[in-house]
Amino acid sequence: MKYVLVTGGVVSGLGKGVTASSIGVLLKACGLRNCQYHPNTHFNLFGLDPYLNTDAGTMSPFEHGEVFVLDDGGEVDLDLGNYERFMDIKLTRDNNITTGKIYQASVGSVIDKERKGDYLGKTVQVVPHITDEIQDWIERVAMIPVDGKEGPVDVCVIELGGTIGDIESMPFIEALGQFSYRVGPGNFCLIHVSLVPVLNVVGEQKTKPTQHSVRGLRGQGLTPNILACRSTVALDDNVKGKLSQFCHVPEQNIITLYDVPNIWHIPLLLRDQKAHEAIFKVLNLQGTTKEPLLKEWTSRAEICDGLHEPVRIAMVGKYTGLSDAYLSILKALLHASVDLRKKLVIDWIPACDLEDATEKENPDAYKAAWKLLKGADGILVPGGFGNRGVQGKILAAKYAREHRIPYLGICLGMQVAVIEFARSVLNLRDANSTEFDPNTKNPCVIFMPEGSKTHMGGTMRLGSRRTYFQIKDCKSAKLYGNRTFIDERHRHRYEVNPDMIARLENAGLSFTGKDETSQRMEIVELPNHPYFIGVQFHPEYKSRPGKPSPLFLGLIAAACGQLDTLIQGSGSQGNLSAKLGNGIAMEKVYQKGTTKPAKVLSDGLYSYCNGVQV
């Protein structure tokens, strides 16, 4: 077994997760062989998060970005979403280790063993008990393939969360230092991601932050084999020489991760700078691999760079100030838009800015929000918790329904669509969710009976669940290729009230997907609307580059006036890219009856966003 550890220094947010994922892509493309000479490489990936939380489930999106949900119901850091998307694999909750899990959360944890008396009277300490538990966990789970293939795992890529110097990460760093000795020379490669800033005043690349970061890493018992340096531009040769001299890393092992138009270029950057050869040399794998071709990645990156015809999607949410709060949704929208050869432009709309109260308190924000909503080609209302902004989301659903704008509601986005329909069509003015009004006389959305009202962590309906289509002739079933059922990931405490279903359906709402009991509503549609779909599950978690989520594909296609072509392709299992892309320019029919293209803002991808993220 070979291990590749990715650490980060200087500042957080440098892209360790993307780097670790890209390394996995690169090594997989090299066709590594295990000792039985299987023709395929088997991988595993780990995320080590030093925070004391058991998992990411109770963290605010403003605090830590989105919570990514796995098939087994694990609520994990968003970097595991990057791993799954890049590598097209399925991870488990055991692939995310936190301090909370090590100390107390899991069966067989350190505290659990201490209570059982497994340590035979010893004083339980961070070293060796915590550090041994971390190493044992890595070694145990690393042997389990996550790519669906048989055979032993060849390579395990590990990302250590946080930044070198953080107090909470010290036990993990000590454990990994010991682990490098446990697995022996030639089986452990450390890649340190660091920052080389360029000061605008002098325009010079500064190496001192990286020097100090490496010194701190070496002071804690780990020595980097490769440096991956984040910078705005490629490193100058003299800068590489200086880093090599002061960090004790060969120049050929210093890689520049400079700014690129989209993250699909990162595996290509690593390949072009021979990062795979540096890794193989450290791991004694020279001569056992092939050159990575990465044709699909090259094509995808170039296609994304060359897109020019925009499609505008209004994202009406609660956490619009931080794009990472909706990272998987952004990725799913991007996957779909690239597949349809459209340039994605996101209009971020804080849901509360659409509400009447904002019109009085901040009329400029109110006008700006409604202007963006009315100018969008499609509207997406994502999930969320709490009552802030709910009325704005209801108004967005109402606007989409009445003006026949393509709409996709996810989790809470589905629930607010049902509430809006009950209020506007059934004339139930006080229709609401018991989450927001426990005393409502017309509860359209209710707390699930099996949920807990005293404990928040890990008590929701989580993970992969099966949805059965009730109607064959509906848009969602057609988009999924006319299957009888689908498996999608969930994360919710509330559900549509089964007692309200008959009244809602009699009024024109169609619940086209339900669970195995037929009592839990999974998909809702408006049959006579161009595209109005709400889902209780989170389809964004399973979207992949080159394999976009059908519902996101449907939203983008409907926003471009191409839904009928898409559905015909899905129904016949045809090649959609050949039908809609293929380099042929197609006139865009906008939902408002005009062919005038939307204005692309200066970022070229996401407007009204804190930075560009592809």
pLDDT tens digits for range 481-515: 999 999 999 999 999 999 999 999 999 999 999 99
Q: Is the pLDDT of residue 606 over 70?
A: no
Copy the structure tokens of residue 234: 């490629």
Q: What are phi and psi of 466, to 5 degrees?
A: -95, 135
CA distance 241 to 477: 58
The residues near 507 (Cβ < 8 Å, ≥ 6 apart) are 421, 425, 426
Copy the structure tokens of residue 310: 């925009």
- pLDDT (0 to 100) of residue 43: 62
pLDDT tens-digit map of 229-278: 999 999 999 999 999 999 999 999 999 999 999 999 999 999 999 999 99
Angle (CA) 181-182-185 rounded to 5° is 50
DSSP characters over 418-447: HHHHHHHTS--TT-EETTT-TT-SSEEEEE
CA distance 467 to 446: 19
Place of tokens 């018992």: 221
Copy the structure tokens of residue 206: 């500064």
pLDDT tens-digit map of 204-223: 899 999 999 999 999 999 99
- pLDDT (0 to 100) of residue 333: 97
- pLDDT (0 to 100) of residue 586: 36
CA distance 397 to 405: 9
Alpha-carbon 454 to chain mean position? 29
Q: Is the pLDDT of residue 189 over 50?
A: yes
Among residues 246, 243, 218, 215, the alpha carbon closest in space to that of 231 is found at 243
pLDDT tens-digit map of 318-338: 988 888 899 999 999 999 999
pTM of the entire predicted model: 0.89
CA distance 532 to 413: 11
Residues with catalytic function: 411, 538, 540
- Is the separation of the CB atoms in 416 and 441 below 8 Å? no
- Is the separation of the CB atoms in 211 and 248 below 8 Å? no
**Stretch (H or E) spanning 506:** helix 501-506
CA distance 249 to 227: 7
**226 beta partners:** 191
